[in-house]
Structure 1
Amino acid sequence: MDKVQAGTAVGTDGAPPPSRGRGLRRFLRRLTADRDELEAEELRAGTGQEGATPIAECAERTRVRVAGTLRTVTLRPRGGAPALEAELYDGTDVISLVWLGRRKIAGIEPGRRLRAEGLVSTQDGRKTMFNPRYELRGDA
């Protein structure tokens, strides 16, 4: 039989129980962390719940599903035709979502949560997805 040191709690599997101090540390960190850090942490957690790939892990020429919050939405002409461009942030990185031939899409606005699926390419050194399928998720 294994010896147990006095004052040491042991779980049924022989491992020590989870630390009570962990919750306090997380609470104190949330009090002292800046708003951007907290937002990024929440977005990273949401990415996993959406069944999406973190944008930082998206490789060029792969079809992926990403999820996050739209930071900016702009109308930029590409080759003389209108193109609606939105920057999606998931807490790990950003990706540009570009809808060619569109001036406006209902619901595509800064602050909106979105899940998108498409082929990742690199344009001007930035991850980009052209004409992605998307699903509006609810306000941020």
Structure 2
Amino acid sequence: MTTDESRVSLRRILQRFTASEAEIDAQELRQESAECGGVLAQQCSRGQVVSVAGRLRTVVYTPRTNLPTLEADLYDGSDVVTLVWLGRRHISGIEPGRHLTARGRVAMRDERKVIYNPYYELDSPK
């Protein structure tokens, strides 16, 4: 190992000891997203067709008179993308803490990134 490699290795070890649990979790989620071939949510822009992978933070059913929706916040360690299924009250497996990969076109709603009716694949529970 060269001197530069050992410095980088030592720096990573020190970061692991000094980082908060949330920072370590975010780093692991970003790494998992990259391994799945996903685009980081932070890098997504309106109109772009993307594949994002991460963990569902919240899942909320919004009863509306004319069109109920199921909304879930997907966090990949860099940012949140809200997944919205129109006309759905419940989807099996869509629950907080679940890991999944979602594909679709990014839209903006109230300055937040949203994918409507995404294609999705549930990852096996960890």
The two structures have a TM-score, normalised by structure 1, of 0.82
1:23 is aligned to: 9
> Aligned residue for 2:43?
57
Match of 1:96 among 82, 87, 96: 82
Deviations 1:54-104 (A, max 9, x none): 111111011111100000000113463211000000111101000011111
Aligned twin of 1:130: 116
The one-letter amino acid of 2:58's match is T
Structure 2 CA distance for partners of 1:122 and 1:114, relative to 1, 3 Å: same
Secondary structure at 2:88 match in 1: coil
Question: Relative contact order (alpha carbons < 8 A, sep ≥ 6): 1 or 2 greater?
Answer: 2
Equivalent residue number for residue 27 of structure 2: 41
Asked if 1:106 is matched to 2:89, the reply is: no
Provide the aligned length of Structure 1 versus Structure 2.
Answer: 126
Superposition RMSD in Å: 1.7
- 1:52-91 → structure 2 map (5 Å cutoff): 52-78=38-64, 80-91=66-77
* Structure 1 residue 112 displacement after superposition: 0.5
Name the aligned partner's letter for residue 70 of structure 1: L
Deviations along 1:16-53, one digit per CA (max 9) or x if unpaired, are 46533433332222122111100110011111110111
Extract unaligned runs of 5+ from structure 1: 1-10
Given that residues 111 and 139 in structure 1 are in contact (C-alpha distance below 8 angstroms), is that contact kept between their aligned partners in structure 2? Answer: no
Q: Which has the higher helix share?
A: 2
Distance in 2 of aligned mates of 1:19 and 1:127? 38
